[in-house]
Amino acid sequence: MHISEGILSPGILVAGAALTAAGVIIGLKKTDAEDIPSVGIMSAAFFVASLIHVPIGPSSVHLILNGLLGLLLGWKSFPAILTGLLLQALLFQFGGITSLGVNTFNMAFPAIACFYLFGWCIKGNRNRVLFICGSFASGFLAVSFSAILVALSLYLTGEEFLPTAKLILLAHIPVMLIEGGLTAVCALFLKRVKPELLEGEANAS
């Protein structure tokens, strides 16, 4: 879901950079020394998951895992996603440096939204059905929100991008379902082998 270099208008680029900077500052303030390993691991998972992508005009379709990052990291998703996108831009020319702020916000903000919407579903000894539904919804809706933000970024740059924006939304419907299932499976696995990873951010304010 990277937006390529040289596509977006200066206003969108500046707004995206400013919003991402604010999110990263909040995320870093909430990151303690003991959080660094988990943030690094999730940033690496995000990096690897989105390496396989299918280009669609000025953007692309690929796995994101931002719903899972949101549940596990909360606001720390901003620096984790920024790091992954920066490495992808430098190493593989996915997205770009000037669009890094917009790309980061488009993926990290939905992660934060899903953290607040569904984080409580994975806290404590919740009902198993609620746990699965909440984690699935987090994965599904995080991709949905990201696709909408990408489409909106393109549309606000110029109405000529409207057909591409619609195509991006449609192309991500299968990804939404896959990500929902992956997030639920990963959350169930972590609850069994490392439940404190879920409890830490689920209890955070």
- Calculate Rg over the CA atoms of the chain: 16
**Contact call for residues 1 and 66 (beta carbons, < 8 A):** no
CA gap 7, 14 in Å, rounded = 13
CA gap 181, 165 in Å, rounded = 25
User: Which residue segments constitute the domains of the chain, with CATH numbers given?
Assistant: 10-202 (1.10.1760.20)
What is the value of pTM for the model shown? 0.89
Which tens digit of pLDDT belongs to each residue from 34-90? 889 989 999 999 998 877 766 666 666 788 899 999 999 999 999 999 999 999 899
Kindly state the DSSP code that residue 52 receives in the 8-state scheme: S
Contacts of 163 (CB under 8 A, 6+ apart): none
Question: Can you point out the beta strands (E) in 5-146?
Answer: 53-56, 59-62
Q: How many CB atoms lie within 10 A of CB 192?
A: 8
Average pLDDT, the chain: 89
Q: Residue 203's pLDDT band (boundaries 50, 70, 90)?
A: very low
Distances (CA, A) of 33 to 21, 79, 158, 202: 21, 14, 43, 18
Q: Which two tokens stand for residue 94?
A: 């996915």
Which tens digit of pLDDT belongs to each residue from 103-137? 999 999 999 999 999 998 988 777 889 999 999 99
Gap between the terminal Cα atoms of the chain: 29
Q: Which two tokens stand for residue 90?
A: 């430098």
Identify which of 103, 186, 181, 116 has the alpha carbon closest to the alpha carbon of residue 146: 103
Locate tokens 């919804």: which residue? 137
